[in-house]
Amino acid sequence: MKKRNILLRVTTVFVAATLFLNGCTAGGSTAPVNSVSTENPPVSVSVSEEVVASTETGTSTPNEIIISVPQWTKKEDVTDEQKEEQADEYLPLRDAVDAKIGALVGCCVNNTTIKNKNVWNIVTEDFSAVTFENELKPQSLLQWGSKCTEITTAKIGKKTIDVPTIHFFTADSMCNKILKWNEENPDRKIVIRGHVLVWHSQTPEWFFHEGYDKSNPYVDKKTMNLRLEWYIKTVLEHYCGEDSKYAGLFYAWDVVNEAVSDNGGKLRSDSENSSEKASADYHNNNSTWWTIYQSNEYIINAFKYANKYAPESVELYYNDYNECDSTKRQGIIELLKAIKEEEGEPGKGTRIDGMGMQGHYSVSYPESFAFSSTAQMYGKVVGKVMITELDLKASSDYDGSAESKEKEYEKIKKQYSRLYKSIQYADSMDEVDIAGITFWGVSDKDSWLQSTSSIGGGNSKGYKQCPLLFDEKYEKKPCYYVFAE
């Protein structure tokens, strides 16, 4: 990598000390990162002569974290020659992050964004992994409405059961595009995170009822176990089976999503939100899985079935949000332990390879220490941790105006910078391997935070937020360079 940047050598001891003493920013006191003027967009990077500043204290010389800090000049001052030179200053995200922490860098795409040339160019240049926003959720693979009208039969063990038809077409067409890219670019392959097999939300209510019709009574646990096994088997065999054309394309699956409640860290129940009717076509907060099982049994079984049908090369994850909140975190840890306790051979026990910290954060949350200590706690139970849906909600005083946006960009850059340092810090601990960072989208334009969303989160103030690394014109934002360094 051709670099003539200011190099700041910060020892991990220094970073750790800052973390513990300030209880906040890993590198907050290494001010130069944060004090760089960003009056211009990042295309205008120009490079100063090399300076090496050392902040090392004492005699210890542990591994160094090198932070390169670009100097910014006005856009109009930059010549074409300089621009070309600047392009060489940074590695694509996937290479930069891989070099620094040996992790995949992903983004979420959906069936519309993947067809957008600007998005596709960014995906293939900067990312080593993708997650499909909706297309592999039960909502997309099963049929919508109050009942299922496409019922066939399938065998699970010796039993023949009625099953709904699974619609693989849309997700397949997205997989085909990635597959084609991989065939043509064997050195720049992109892998897929399967998202998600079991979730209380975006799953049709009829799936839990007799005859796949929500006007009928709920099925019993035994029947639901057969349906659960059949669903996991069918989806995993389709995408990860030995004979699948997609074999080798998926690196992981989120087996269960968001099964822990925000209220006290217990398991999510069917009374999380009193305004959600049990008779709705699908639920946002309440869990019909809970209605049928009243325990963690469906979660344990989901990991058992995933272990039975996923090849060993495909990692299995539990995934959740508000994962740094201390009460909810405790609930998640208890659940991870319960899944772990049942570990065994495929067909006999569970397998869990990692914890997905969704990472729907904000410009001020979480503090660095909260992130790294949380990652460490999860790592102690399951080893691997991935940040699976990273984005940053805007600050409360952000009003969407151009002026406020400039300030917000700076805040977002600072928070991503703090976060990335605590990711590096966590990754340097023995107990935890941060194996992936996935951003929940490519450009701000396509983020779920740009519009009010019926599935939670969204934009409550009527203005568009700017949570990601690329702006609405698909240009790199200043925060991009936090990770491209």
Q: Closer CB to ligand GLA, residue 248 or residue 457?
A: 457
Say whether the peptide bond before residue 366 is cis (omega within 30 degrees of 0): yes
Active-site annotation holds for 472 = no
19 neighbors 372 (Cβ within 8 angstroms):
yes
Residue type at 473?
A: K
To the nearest whole angstrom, how small is the minimum distance from the Cβ of residue 132 to ligand GLA?
9
Q: How far is CA 419 from the centre of its chain?
A: 14
Active-site annotation holds for 242 = no
To the nearest whole angstrom, how small is the minimum distance from the Cβ of residue 326 to ligand GLA?
20
**DSSP secondary structure string for all residues of 88-114:** TTS--HHHHHHHHH--EEEEEE-TTGG
- For residues 262 and 284, give the distance between their C-alpha atoms in angstroms, rounded to a whole number: 13
Q: Closer CB to ligand GLA, residue 195 or residue 283?
A: 195
To the nearest whole angstrom, how small is the minimum distance from the Cβ of residue 282 to ligand GLA?
12
Please calculate the CA angle 323-203-162 and round it to the nearest 5 degrees: 135
Q: Closer CB to ligand GLA, residue 234 or residue 438?
A: 438
- Among the listed residues 89, 133, 229, 258, the single catalytic one is 258
- Contact residues: ligand GLA, CB under 6 A: 195, 257, 321, 358, 389, 448, 455, 457
To the nearest whole angstrom, how small is the minimum distance from the Cβ of residue 253 to ligand GLA?
13
To the nearest whole angstrom, how small is the minimum distance from the Cβ of residue 183 to ligand GLA?
28
- Interacting residues of 398 by C-beta distance below 8 A, sequence separation 6+: 404, 405, 407, 408, 463, 465
- For residues 67 and 49, give the distance between their C-alpha atoms in angstroms, rounded to a whole number: 15
- Among the listed residues 133, 323, 367, 389, the single catalytic one is 389
Helix (H) or strand (E) holding 484: helix 480-484
Say whether the peptide bond before residue 33 is cis (omega within 30 degrees of 0): no
Q: Closer CB to ligand GLA, residue 389 or residue 427?
A: 389
Residue of 318, 299, 317, 171 lying closest to 251 (CA atoms): 317
Q: Closer CB to ligand GLA, residue 195 or residue 329?
A: 195
267 neighbors 291 (Cβ within 8 angstroms):
no
To the nearest whole angstrom, how small is the minimum distance from the Cβ of residue 191 to ligand GLA?
18
Task: State which residue has the least CB distance to ligand GLA.
Answer: 448
DSSP state, residue 401? S
DSSP state, residue 199? E
Beta strands in 278-395 (DSSP E): 315-320, 354-357, 360-362, 384-393
Output the six-digit token pair for 89: 């200053």
DSSP state, residue 443? B
Q: Closer CB to ligand GLA, residue 136 or residue 310?
A: 136
Helix (H) or strand (E) holding 170: helix 169-184
Q: Closer CB to ligand GLA, residue 265 or residue 478?
A: 265
To the nearest whole angstrom, how small is the minimum distance from the Cβ of residue 373 to ligand GLA?
22
SS3 content of the chain, % helix, strand, coil (to 5): 40, 20, 40
* Residues noted as catalytic: 258, 389
